[in-house]
Amino acid sequence: MKRVLPAMKRGLAATLVAASLAASGPLVAAAPKRDLALEAALLAHIKVLASDAFAGREPGTEGEAETLRYLGKQWFDIGLVSGTNDPGHAWFAPVNLVAREPAASAAVFARKGKRLYMPRDATIMLTSGKRALVENAPMLFVGTGAAIEQLARNELAGRVAVLLDGGVRDSERQNALLKAGAAAVLTVLDSDRTLEQVAARRRRSGYALATDSLGGDLEGFITAEAFDRLLVGSSAGLAALRTAAAVPGFVPRLLDLTATMEATTRETTIRTHNLIGKLEGRRPEAGAVLFMAHWDHFGRCADAPAEHLVCNGAIDNASGVAALTEVARRLSRGPQQERDIYFVATTAEELGLLGAAAFAENPPLPLKQIVAAFNIDSVAIAPAGTPLAIVGRGMTPLDPQILAAAKANRRVIVPGTAANDYVKRQDGWMLLQHDVPAVMVTSAYGNLALLERFFETDYHRPSDVVKPGLELGGAAEDVSFLVALGRWFADPRRVPLTR
């Protein structure tokens, strides 16, 4: 009886509890257990990196120096070693950028050798190189550019392609025409976009790696009124050309006009750095795992009388660099892995993924040795319990292993590829261009409504600062799962090196 009585009591208690729960309504799933210590560690990093003392972490400034000093000390204290594999540049891999801003712009138009009057403020010419020039080039009206693929290269070669704006404000059509052989592209602003808006947007500097050979491209914009004035005396005005371009089967039309167009830029060199650390594995010849997050932001991004002039980038991407650092800390505490694990804090992501491009062009190890790369960007978005998404799903051979690791760690991954809409907006895209299997696995993209809310409010604005209640529940869970992925992919028995 003494042995049976406790069991009877437990059974009676369970019955009473069940009856009580049934009376009170349906069961509610328990909230996920949060790692508050990890959330506090992430917040501490973010407060430092997004403070005004770091001045918005702009590449080539004292804000960069402060950022790299802080991260370098953190990584050294964790136990990482330099991952540059270059004794001449331990820890900090140089990245030289060139900033180009528009300088001179000129356009002259003629019919049968006779120069036509054109106000200087009716056009703007732009190039990504130092100088671009075309002289006396025939002008070919291509409408909206929909028939580009039907044009033979010799039809565009040496000619200025005249393109209707039509409210489609992307550069893909212009780039496609240049790639197809056009000497230049002249876009007619026949929508609600104004020349002043184009000039204001393009007045900002364009950035490139100093090793990139840019130049030769020439892009111009002209007001609809000015272009219509050029057509006076031709067989058709702008309205007739627009109507013709809307007809199915439209064929590009050679105009009785020639153009001489020129654009130049001013150049500034920016010297910046990627920070590269490493946890050494037992068998570096077996390949490596890579974790990456960009450290940079915009620096000063507003003018007086605005109350706050600095873009501090608390979520984008102090949170990602904080997560990267804590992934390194937790991996360093466990047993030594078989493979090397690299940690890269990239520069100039906000300027066009340029730090990641520099890493891929001058890597510290052969790129084919990288078994898996995981980018971390803007993770302070979703609450604890939010499922994960894979940005880059279906684009690498990593998916089956990630799904297996998620199952083993009781993590849910949302189905589908909706998050891939953002794949080109993050550093992993540059690695994908070099055939490195790179993805983002994060709760920040597990609820796209929350992510879009961030994009519509604080993203790339001075308001992206550390605020009360900054959401770090999902970020902490991301760190835990990334640690699990690091161990998973660092095991050659589980994930062989096949490349």
Residue-wise DSSP of 444-467: GGTSHHHHHHHHHTTTTSTT-S--
Q: Is the pLDDT of residue 33 over 70?
A: yes
Q: Across residues 395-412, what is the average pLDDT?
A: 98
Tally of structural domains, the chain: 2
Prior bond to 409 cis, omega within 30? no
Range of the domain at 252: 99-267
pTM over 0.75: yes
Where does a domain end: 218, 246, 267? 267
User: What pLDDT, on a 0 to 100 scale, did the predictor assign at position 27?
Assistant: 35
Q: What is the pLDDT of residue 3?
A: 33
For the chain, give me the number of helices (H) and strands (E)?
14, 17
Are 369 and 441 members of one domain?
yes
Whether residue 150 has pLDDT greater than 80: no
Same domain, 213 and 310: no
**434-453 exposure pattern, b = at least 16 Cβ within 10 A, e = fewer:** bebbbbbbbbbbbbbebbee
CATH code of residue 193: 3.50.30.30
Residues 320 and 443 in one domain: yes
- Would you say residue 133 lies in a domain? yes
Residue 26 in any domain: the answer is no
With respect to residue 331, please indicate whether it lies within any of the assigned structural domains. Answer: yes
Q: If you average pLDDT over residues 60-79, what whole number do you get?
A: 98
Residues 231 and 174 in one domain: yes
Q: What is the pLDDT of residue 41?
A: 98
Same domain, 129 and 218: yes
Both 442 and 344 in one domain: the answer is yes
Confidence of residue 153 (pLDDT cuts 50, 70, 90): low
Same domain, 197 and 67: no
- Per-residue pLDDT, averaged over 334-341, amounts to 96
Residue 23 maps to a domain: no
**Average model confidence (pLDDT) across the chain:** 90
pLDDT at 32: 62
pLDDT bin (cut points 50, 70, 90) of residue 108 is very high
- Residues 70 and 107 reside in one and the same domain: no
Q: Give 338's contacts (C-beta < 8 A, 6+ positions apart).
A: 281, 282, 283, 286, 490, 491, 492
Domain boundary among 267, 302, 317: 267
- Final residue of a domain: which of 227, 244, 267? 267
**Are 367 and 292 in a shared domain?**
yes
In a domain, 89, yes or no: no
DSSP letter, residue 388: B
| Helix axes of 36-49 and 473-489: crossing angle, nearest 10 degrees | 100
pLDDT score for 219 = 94
pLDDT recorded at residue 7: 37
Mean pLDDT of 278-305: 94
413 CB-side CA count, 13 A: 23
What proportion of the chain, given as a percentage, has pLDDT over 90? 78
Q: How many CB atoms lie within 10 A of CB 174?
A: 21
- The more confident residue out of 173 and 402 is 402
The reported pLDDT for the residue numbered 16 is 33
* Alpha-carbon 226 to chain mean position: 37
pLDDT band, residue 149 (cuts 50/70/90): low
Q: For the chain, how big is the Rg over CA atoms in Å?
A: 28
With cut-offs at 50, 70 and 90, classify the pLDDT of residue 347.
Answer: very high
